[in-house]
Amino acid sequence: MTRLTLILVIVATAAVSSALTSAFWFVAFNRGAISQAQPQPQRAPSPAPRPRPPLAVAPSGLAIPVVGVKPEQLVDTYTAARSGGRVHDATDIMAARGTEVVAAAPGTVEKLFFSKGGGGITAYVRSPDGQWQYYYAHLDSYWPGLHEGEALRQGDPIGRVGSTGDASPAAPHLHFAVNRMAAGQRWWQGSPVNPYPLLAGKR
């Protein structure tokens, strides 16, 4: 082998080696580019879990309609006197303004009504059998999207605790009433039943 031949062999070997290396990287790079360009499977965004204490459901089947309130915190205010010789005919559930108000029982939103000198922002929810009306009053606001005709499950949000109407701004609470409804009675009618034992689990 002449010196020139040896040099040519070395140069040729280097060239082939370089070409192979380039080809390898070219293929590797393009494989990577291709795999990156392929669509990735879409993951449906999971809704952010909202931490919420479990519903306090009494033996009556009614849940305490203010989130986080325990049965032992309830006070029976059913027979408390009210202006004009009236009695209360409801239970006041004290809670911080803005606390979530939820459906004590399933039903259909029959009426959303504003009573300036009374319950303020209120919701009337009729039981599926039509025989009970649940009344939520002094709300600070309705839950966004709440509307008449909406079917609620127990625990579905209705609004937030407030002091609208004739409640004291210093003592926000949910005024909660239960009315027995005779056939054909409308949302403003019915016969009051004391909600306290139904919520507190006492007879």
122 binds Zn ion (CB under 5 A): no
According to CB under 5 A, which residues from 157 to 186 bind Zn ion? 175
User: By CB under 5 A, which span of 14-22, 36-44, 83-91, 141-149 interacts with Zn ion?
Assistant: 83-91
126 binds Zn ion (CB under 5 A): no
Nearer to Zn ion, 150 or 193 (CB): 193
100 binds Zn ion (CB under 5 A): no
Q: How far is the CB of 104 from Zn ion (least distance, A)?
A: 15
92 binds Zn ion (CB under 5 A): yes
Q: How far is the CB of 192 from Zn ion (least distance, A)?
A: 12
CA distance 65 to 72: 14
- What would the two tokens of residue 15 be? 């060239």
According to CB under 5 A, which residues from 29 to 58 bind Zn ion? none
Could you tell me which of 43, 52, 64, 85 has the C-alpha nearest to residue 196?
64
Q: How far is the CB of 97 from Zn ion (least distance, A)?
A: 15
- What would the two tokens of residue 197 be? 């034992």
Nearer to Zn ion, 64 or 90 (CB): 90
CA distance 30 to 14: 24
CB atoms within 10 A of CB 15: 10
Distant-in-sequence, close-in-space partners of 113: CB < 8 Å, separation ≥ 6: 119, 122, 123, 124, 187
89 binds Zn ion (CB under 5 A): no
User: By CB under 5 A, which span of 28-36, 85-93, 117-125, 126-134 interacts with Zn ion?
Assistant: 85-93
DSSP-assigned states of every residue in 120-165: EEEEEEE-TTSSEEEEEEEEEEEPTT--TT-EE-TT-EEEEEB--T
Q: How far is the CB of 175 from Zn ion (least distance, A)?
A: 3
Binding residue count for Zn ion, defined by CB under 5 A: 3
Binding site for Zn ion (CB under 5 A): 90, 92, 175
